[in-house]
Chains A and B, each alone.
Chain A
Amino acid sequence: MSKVGVSHASWDTYRDIEISFKVNGKEVKVKVKPYERLIDVLRNKLGLVSVKGGCGRGECGACVVIMNGKLIPTCLTLAVRADGSEVLTLEGIAPEGKLHAIQKALLDTYAMQCGFCFPGVIMTSKYLLDKNPNPSEDEIKEVLDGNLCRCGSYLRFVKAVKLASKYINEGKIFFDESEVMR
């Protein structure tokens, strides 16, 4: 933080702003500072820890969520921007006890390694499938290009999105969690 422009006034002097928005289908009201990032509010105030912080600069894709139908990096989004919006995180993509088709497909293709990038990968894939239920391999790669995975499960992400697309086209959006372990 640069010295320039910092008066060493306590950050507490910034007043709280109450924002209300819909998260995973539920209305929430939360007090935030004007400088607070959406990622911190989602994680620390709302307990949605699937939203991962990987770089703080919108470079890695670990913190992306769907806001008003758009994919956004929450580390570059001020919380106040969420006022009046609808936000979807990984916690909200399937009903209790169920998995979304993309989650099932990622398990079917055995893509799991460290898992840190997965919330971002899943939200990005869902965003893509919502817009385009039959993406080509190139379209999948184009959209997932912003999600870094250092363990290198990339090849399986492509397979999983294709498989999820198949499931969705067959009308299979949700799967029972108990069906997946084997």
Chain B
Amino acid sequence: MLKYILHRIALLIPTLVGITICAFAFVRLLPGDPILAMAGEHGVAPARYEELKEQFGYNLPIWQQYARYVGEVATGDFGVSISSKRPVMEEFKILFPATMELSFFAMIFAMVLGIPAGIFAAVKRGSWFDQSLMGTALVGYSMPIFWWGLLLIIFFSGYLGWTPVSGRIGLQFFFKPITGFMTIDTLLYGKWDAFRSALSHLVLPAIVLGTIPLAVIARQTRSAMLEVLGEDYVRTARAKGLSPSRVVGLHALRNALIPVVTTIGLQIGTLLAGAILTETIFAWPGIGKWMVDSIFKRDYVVVQSGLLLIALIVMAVNLIVDVLYAVINPRIRAA
């Protein structure tokens, strides 16, 4: 087992190097540069521009800039934001819990609805429920997040007034963050009304962010379930005279869930990508919004280090999923 884990970690090294190159190249391939973006409408006199380029080190050959970046990252130095002048790591630590919290609730939403819906569709295969569920899932999967988010805001917050429009918590609540997770912090402070406010602020963004994973999970559960339902042991269980709910709920579900668990693990990438739009619409102070702002400002340092940090997290989650999978399924370990 240890050998398997070490092997998986070793495989991550080339990926990591690739990511540093991609992150570094991506922001530089975009037209425009940070000095001009900073100067705003005024523009910069050519002499001053050269001076600033030197000050920022952008006059160095590109490979030297890359070497410097990798050298810094290797020592745990993720640099300082060009626009806010704050250490990238410091900003990341503040913003990441917000994204985590939102992703967590989005995932809960997706699983709580997606798994039962998938099971039911598989059991009632070919029924109108199955048909319409799979149709809806396809729609959900292709839903443009931006449009979907605004639609929900206008209907639920604007027209019905059921949910707050945006933000993380009611503005009347004001306390120093402990963990950075609003739902946990409010409980630690023992403020129930603040906790309720935090939850109500989570509803719409979690639905929006969870829509695509919900569709994926529902479809995955359905197909895994269908496969399992055709297995011999399920037929045997039925033949033994077990009630249909026992057959499905106990014998089939446990086996069908294995690929679903993997799918859920892999959705972390989808969630982080979706967070970029969701956070921007809902004014959610997380890393997605942070990345978008930084790209617009051509803040090379934040973009390249932020992408790297996000990639590290995705890789770590995938590693954990791989390991868990090996724990569940010994056949994988040998491969």
Co-complex (A, B): no
Interface residues of A (CB under 8 A from B): none
Interface residues of B (CB under 8 A from A): none
